[in-house]
Every structure is written in C-alpha cells, then in structure tokens.
Amino acid sequence: MTTLIDSTIQQHQACIDACNKCMQACEECLSSCLKEPDVQARTHCISMLRDCADICSMASQWMSRGSMFAKQFCEMCAMICEACATDCEKFQDAHCQECATYCRKCAEECRKMVA
Amino acid sequence: MTTLIDSTIQQHQACIDACNKCMQACEECLSSCLKEPDVQARTHCISMLRDCADICSMASQWMSRGSMFAKQFCEMCAMICEACATDCEKFQDAHCQECATYCRKCAEECRKMVA
Amino acid sequence: MTTLIDSTIQQHQACIDACNKCMQACEECLSSCLKEPDVQARTHCISMLRDCADICSMASQWMSRGSMFAKQFCEMCAMICEACATDCEKFQDAHCQECATYCRKCAEECRKMVA
Amino acid sequence: MTTLIDSTIQQHQACIDACNKCMQACEECLSSCLKEPDVQARTHCISMLRDCADICSMASQWMSRGSMFAKQFCEMCAMICEACATDCEKFQDAHCQECATYCRKCAEECRKMVA
C-alpha cells in the first residue's frame, strides 16, 4: 500500500527537508543578526534572509502539494538561496556561517529537484 | 559554542518538526482528496486541510524566528489541527487516516509548546 | 515630505493592488468551485487557483518590502496568472469568468512591473 | 446575479482591504527602519513588523476564502496590530507614524469583523 510518506519519499522529500531546514536557519539567523552590535552593517543580509525564509517555506509547501509549478518555483528558490549564502558568508559569527551552509545545501537540492 | 541547531533544540524543535510534517501531510492529503472519486463528499475536509496546511507552515516559521507571539499562534494551530484531524478521520483511505495522525501529533506538540 | 503612500505609488502600487485583487478572486473562486455540483470536473482548476492565490499574496508582500527579487517573482506570478485564467475561462459560472479577468489583469500589471 | 465582488462586499471587504493596507505599511516600514541611522534602537519594532505583515497577509487570504476560522484569526490579528502600533508610535519618522495609523485601523476593522 502506498502511503503519504512513501509516495513523497519517491519524489521530493530531500528537497522538502532542505527547504524546511533552510527556512528555519534563515529565520533564526535574521533574529540573531538583529541582536548583533553591528546590526547596521547587516541590513542587506537581513533583507536577503527575509526573502529566503519566505521562498523556502513556500517551496516546501508547493512540493508537498505536488504543484505543477514546483520546478519553476524551486529554480527561483535555488537562485535566492545562493545569493543569501553569499551574503551570510561575509559575517564570521556561527549563525551566519551555519545559515550559509544550509542555504548552499538547499540550493543544491533545489537544482537536483529541477533537473 | 551555541550554534543555531543547539539553541533551537533547547526550544521548540519538536514542535517545529511536527508542524512541518503536518503541513506536508495536509498538502498531500488535499491533493489526494481532489483525485478521489467521491471528491464531492470531501469539500469540507478540503477546506479544513487548506487552513491547516497554512497555519502549520506559519507556526513553524514564527517559532523559528522566536516570535513573541509564537505561543498564541501555536494555541490556534493546535485547535485547527484537532478540527482537521476530526474531519480526516471520517475517510477510510490511507492519506486521510495518516494525515489525521500527523494533525493529532502536531496539536499535542503545540499544546506542549504553549504549556 | 515623502510618505509611505507617495513613495509606493511612484513604484509598484498598481501591481500590488492587482495582486491583492487576484489573490482574493482566486480564493473566492476556489471556495465557490468546491460548492459546485460538478466539482469533480474542476479539480485541475482548483489546484491552479491554490497556487495562484499563494503567489499573488507573496508577490504583493515582496513588492511592498521592495525586495531585490520582486521582478523575478512577478515574472513567475504573471506566468501562473495566465495559466490560471486559461483554466478558469473553461467554466461558465460568474465566479470563474470574473476570476479569469482578475488573473489576466494581474498578469498584465506584473509584466508592466517587470518591464 | 451575485458576483464575486457583491458577495464579498456584503461580508468582509472593509477588513480585507485594511489587512492588505496594513501588510503593505508594515513591509514598507520594516524596510525603511532598516535604512535608518538608529536601526539598533528599532530591532524590537522590526520583529513586530515582521509578524504583523505576515498575519495581515494571511488574515486577508483566509477572509477571502471564507475560512471557518477567519474570526479567530482576525482576533489574533487585531491583538498583534495593536502591539505593532504601540511600537511604531515610539518613532517620530513618517513611515512609523503612518504605519501605526494603518495598524490601528486594521485592528479596528478586525474587531468589527469578529463582533
């Protein structure tokens, strides 16, 4: 019997998980950036994190529903994740460095999903 | 050193994961319900799944950011998950029965998080 | 003095308004489709409306924040709005015909915004 | 003949419009706050604006679909709008003062809708 979990694993589960993790990392990183003494230097990064969290969240939801636009959506998601990673990598604190790693991983899974 | 993952695990990780899983189950179940021959009988359930997927997605995002309204949000999420589970349980197919289980689990985690 | 309203009107206000109206039309149309006696024939349209409502909502939010990805996002929004309009036009009831009109208008505003 | 627009006007149109405007004002205000020289002093307000924009956006979407949870959702939306207004009012620039006005108006419409 095919169950919910089975059918999804055969499809996009790795990408859904990567999007969920990246959304979480971006939201956490944004909140952490707001508490840093050099927040003034991070405003571009904060704007990027805001977009990246939103698009990862919606990508995860659209893959879950089997949207006919999931591939196009993930293509844009990959592009935004890469841009966000590049911004986060400029800051040496743990939350930005980790967030960049989650962003790169998510971009990679999105590209695999599109391929 | 406290990293992103550490600090979150100490907080709401179980609830974030349950919300992500419940969102996914609801989106999948909705798409599966639309393909069933008795879709006419499922329209109330479909409307419920739509709301439940959305609120679980936002609850996960708000907990990740450490929102000051996360508890109130999860309280509402728990209420909607229970209502959605009650609707899904009426249908005997695997996707509805499984989805109901994810909804009950998510409601439970949301209540723990609020407590 | 430049106020919120002024600066937005000079930018993307027509497109934000069109996205808000299209989101509303799609959500209403989806709920109306679920109440039609031939809901079975409308499941593809319903899936389309779900995606279209979501992307219009996020496009409006991203334009409002002045996202650096607003143009790419609106490009995808235009594509989905056109596809949704094509689906809605197949049904003769008022809500589908009207929704198609809002979708075409939104696609047009998104293309103007991108240009 | 009842059309989309007619049926909505009879229901929640004023509240949907207020939520759309408040979402837009919050997103714009957040982006403007990030550009202010005293951004360090605004981080609490920025977090509030983030939540307020999200909840107004979803409230608008849920009212449009005629969600059975729209009233509970708008009740929470009113509470968050009031809190956001209180934060914004502390800053003397035009975008915060205006945003506070949109938040108060939205809270008022949400309370009317719930009543």
Mean pLDDT to the nearest integer, D27-47: 97
In a domain, A10, yes or no: no
CATH number, domain with residue B76: 1.20.1270.360
| Tens digit of each residue's pLDDT (9 = 90 or more) over C77-107 | 999 999 999 999 999 999 999 999 999 999 9
For residue B97, which phi and psi values (nearest 5 degrees)? -65, -45
In a domain, B51, yes or no: yes
Q: What pLDDT was estimated at residue C66?
A: 96
Asked if residue A79 lies in contact with residue A108, where contact means CB atoms within 8 angstroms, the answer is no
Q: What pLDDT was estimated at residue B76?
A: 98
In a domain, C3, yes or no: no
Distance, CA of A21 to CA of A9 (rounded, Å):
17
Spell out which residues of chain B touch residue C50, defining contact as CB-CB under 8 Å. 50
Q: Based on the number of CB atoms within 10 Å of its own CB, is A10 exposed (0-12), middle (13-18) or buried (19 or more)? A: exposed
pLDDT at C110 over 60: yes
Q: Across the interface, which of C28, C66, C98 has its CB nearest the CB of D64?
A: C28
Q: pLDDT tier at A1 (50, 70, 90 boundaries)?
A: very low
Spell out which residues of chain D touch residue C28, defining contact as CB-CB under 8 Å. 4, 7-8, 64-66
Share the mean pLDDT of chain D: 93
Nearest CA in chain C to A71: C76
Give the residue among B55, B54, C52, C28 at the shortest CA–CA distance from D11: C28
| Tens digit of each residue's pLDDT (9 = 90 or more) over B24-64 | 999 999 999 999 999 999 999 999 999 999 999 999 999 99
In a domain, A8, yes or no: no
Domain count for chain D: 1
Neighbours of D85 (CB within 10 A): 22
Q: What was the ipTM of the complex prediction?
A: 0.92
Largest CA distance in chain D: 55
pLDDT at D113 over 50: yes
pLDDT at C5 over 80: no
Spell out which residues of chain A touch residue C72, defining contact as CB-CB under 8 Å. 76, 79
List the end-to-end C-alpha distance of chain A, in Å, as a whole number: 28
In a domain, B55, yes or no: yes
Q: What pLDDT was estimated at residue B1?
A: 40
pLDDT at C10 over 70: no
Q: Quick check: A69 contacting C, CB < 8 Å?
A: yes
In a domain, A57, yes or no: yes
| Tens digit of each residue's pLDDT (9 = 90 or more) over D10-22 | 579 999 999 999 9
Helices (H), B10-93: 13-35, 43-65, 70-88
In a domain, A24, yes or no: yes
In a domain, C66, yes or no: yes
| Tens digit of each residue's pLDDT (9 = 90 or more) over C12-56 | 999 999 999 999 999 999 999 999 999 999 999 999 999 999 999
Q: What pLDDT was estimated at residue C8?
A: 54
| Tens digit of each residue's pLDDT (9 = 90 or more) over A62-78 | 999 999 999 999 999 99
Q: Which H or E run includes C66?
A: none
Share the mean pLDDT of chain B: 93
Spell out the residues 6+ positions from residue B108 whose beta carbon is closer than 8 angstroms to its own. Answer: B18, B78
Q: What pLDDT was estimated at residue B70?
A: 97
Domain enclosing residue B48, as ranges: 22-114
DSSP chain D: ---HHHHHHTTTHHHHHHHHHHHHHHHHHHHHHHTSTTGGGGHHHHHHHHHHHHHHHHHHHHHHTT-TTHHHHHHHHHHHHHHHHHHHTT--SHHHHHHHHHHHHHHHHHHHHH-
